[in-house]
Amino acid sequence: MSRFTAPIAEQIWDMKYRFKEADGTPIDTTVEDTWRRIARSLASVEKDPAHWEERFYSALEDFKYLPAGRITAGAGTERSVTLFNCFVMGTIPDSMGGIFEMLKEAALTMQQGGGIGYDFSTIRPKGAGVKGVAADASGPLSFMDVWDAMCRTIMSAGSRRGAMMATMRCDHPDIEDFITAKSDAARLRMFNVSVLITDPFMEAVKAGSTWDLKFDGVTHKTVNARELWDQIMQSTYDYAEPGVIFIDRINAMNNLNYCESIAATNPCGEQPLPPYGACLLGSINMAKLVENAFEEGAHLDVAKMTELVATAVRMMDNVVDASRFPLEAQAQEAQAKRRIGLGVTGLADALLMVGLRYGSVEAAEQTDAWMKAIANASYMASVDLAKEKGAFPLFDADKYLASGAMATMDKEVTDAIRKHGIRNALLTSIAPTGTISLYAGNVSSGIEPVFAYAYKRKVLQKDGSRTEEEVVDYAVQMWREKFGDAELPDYFVNAQTLAPLDHVRMQSAAQKWIDSSISKTINCPEDISFEAFKEVYMEAWDTGCKGCTTYRPNDVTGSVLSVSESSESAPEADTGADVVYLSEPLDRPQELEGTTYKLKWPDSEHAIYITVNDVMVGQQRRPFEVFINSKNMEHFAWTVALTRMISAVFRRGGDVSFVVEELKAVFDPRGGAWIQGRYVPSILAAIGQVIEKHMISIGMIEGEGMGLKSDPQQQVVKLHESRGKACPSCGQYSLQMREGCMTCSDCGHSKCG
């Protein structure tokens, strides 16, 4: 009998984690083979490999412990990939040579499948003088554009493009430009961005006092702290970025604050790391540890959880020795501190099984108790490893135990650490678990609430057709099996119906016992007021969170699937989605008006001519077709293809401004060109700029990178169903914001992994 409880679980395993030959022939014939492969690989560094292989296999069996995707897919395969998920790169020097050396290191890391974080605060602001050169600095955002272009050319291991996090301090002179950088939908698309918020800044915000923006001790500008905070909040309200990282709190609570300083995180924010820091991830599946679910006396078996945590910690510690690293500096950093990030998944399902409403005071108290048990078990397991294998090399008992995180730990734990040392400097983190949660039977992800009780996903068949199948939450499926069609109890809540401050309560309860950080999305309703939205972030600060990420669906960020709290039925697409499609193409009139543009690409013998013809739909003029011509025969095939494809999109109607964004984002590795005082990364990007210029001229969009001037629903008559943004992996319109990343409910694709 298959171990998989849902079709989607087996499909995710086959697509992402099953070991196969280069031609696609399976090597792992069953999921048991996958578990065996991982167990054998991680036990290979032990003195008694056979004994630990069985222990490790038992932990993996039935999806009780879920190593992160890199470990599940890569362990035991002998492929040249890293088993670590998260990296923060070295400090960027404020010099041209140093900056591009860091760019090379980033490319090498992403090539092996690592997501990376960078702090761009170390680069001098735009307009600052450059010694020895008669020019002013271009500023950190210009170099972020270079990183973004590089990332688009690197395909990470597992056929996934790399993800990046960019941070900037709240006192950097370019912070205002950083805050609004992603208001241009075509810019920095490979980055998540977060502002590093300091304690003095938050004090200044609350006091309404002034705030200096400075670099190298020189003040460039003075602003009102509360106004700057409101700029951050407004951008996040409108565009879902930047995120907020309370960096002083992170450093104060860091067990290693005596030997490292943190200024950046991995792409999803759960791993604050020092320069060249790396962290591997894994999750305890709490839904598998509940006894007598939905019945009298339902409880989570803490004894089983403690034993499972101890085995998981040992497995993860072994990964430090078994993994490859893209850079030697990363290997040295990992060996010196042996940092791991053990987290949880299925928390919301476990709470449902014991009858608690996610977000309630009672659920937060229970989460506090469970997280404390995991923290104690993790630290004691690491102490036991230190007795056997030695403490991490940079361990200093007095300094380690003086950190803020140690102040809340039980005396039994701190006494054991002082006496025996500890194997792993940091042990706990709560990461996004979207894909591995699906693989485990669609348990609730991380510490998030249940996203949807059930939904429909489209599955691509071998003949090219698509079928629909229902995906049911693990706890809901268990309820159905026990009670049939009985109505769900009122304590069943989901991400869309939960009050934002309930989200914060749960994050705060978990953060108390997590020595790294937490990846979590606080879903906010579209109609939340700006003042109420700001209150979410202030509550996160006041209750001890290390960061805050929100998502408010709107025309810019896209919509999410909406679910009724009292319904099990599959959710339907929100009609406020930002793309509207015609059911049939518009008929071509006999005559059309248009404009022809001449594009001269440097070093090219022949110009390219671009003609855009328009059609009137209602009172709005909009592009209907495009013709791209050049005498250069090297351009013939792709210009014809582009003409046909863009014209086909234009004739479907709706929001076609995405064509501009996609073209402008194309990067030519051979190099771009300077045109009219600006750098254009490719000929295709130049064509995109011409089409954008035309759309602006006919009043279809507001301005460069600004999107539609008016609602596309007012410009078309025959509408097909309204949809959100398309998944870049499978093409389906099933993207949802989960744990800070747009995630596809059909194929499991996530920008962040």
653 residue type, one letter: G
φ, ψ for residue 196, nearest 5 deg: -85, 110
d(CA 161, CA 174) in angstroms, rounded, equals 28
Hey, which bits of 292-388 come out as E strands? 299-300, 340-345
List of residues 6+ apart from 560 with CB closer than 8 A: 496, 523, 551, 553, 574, 724, 736, 737
φ, ψ for residue 343, nearest 5 deg: -130, -155
Hey, which bits of 406-521 come out as E strands? 454-460, 466-472
- Are 513 and 372 in contact by the 8 Å Cβ rule? The answer is yes
- 268 as an active site residue: the answer is yes
Hey, which bits of 252-346 come out as E strands? 264-265, 272-273, 278-285, 290-291, 299-300, 340-345
Handedness of CA 487, 493, 499, 502 (dihedral sign): positive
- Are 214 and 166 in contact by the 8 Å Cβ rule? The answer is no
d(CA 491, CA 510) in angstroms, rounded, equals 20
- Are 196 and 167 in contact by the 8 Å Cβ rule? The answer is yes
Cα angle value 85/88/91 (rounded, 5°): 165
Among candidate residues 742, 727, 745, 721, the one with its CA nearest the CA of residue 458? 745
Handedness of CA 107, 109, 110, 116 (dihedral sign): negative
Residue 143, H or E segment: helix 140-153
Q: How far is CA 429 from the centre of its chain?
A: 15
Identified catalytic residue from 53, 105, 270, 568: 270
d(CA 735, CA 228) in angstroms, rounded, equals 31
Beta bridge partners of 621: 616
Structure letter (DSSP) for residue 680 = E
Q: How far is CA 86 from the centre of its chain?
A: 11
Torsion of Cα atoms, 510 then 512 then 516 then 517, to 10°: 50
3-state class (DSSP) for residue 369: helix
Among candidate residues 109, 114, 134, 116, the one with its CA nearest the CA of residue 71? 114
Among candidate residues 576, 679, 703, 725, the one with its CA nearest the CA of residue 183? 703
Identified catalytic residue from 86, 151, 170, 268: 268
Among candidate residues 153, 145, 152, 162, the one with its CA nearest the CA of residue 99? 145
Number of H helices, E strands in the chain: 23, 28
d(CA 731, CA 109) in angstroms, rounded, equals 27
Residue 307, H or E segment: helix 302-322
DSSP string, 533-583: HHHHHHHHHHTT-SEE-EE--BTTTB---B--TT--SPPB--TT-SB--BS
Identified catalytic residue from 255, 266, 285, 613: 266
d(CA 346, CA 434) in angstroms, rounded, equals 11
- Helix pair 199-207, 225-239: axis angle to 10 deg: 100
In this structure, the chain runs to a length of 753
Among candidate residues 751, 657, 733, 746, the one with its CA nearest the CA of residue 695? 657
Catalytic residues: 266, 268, 270
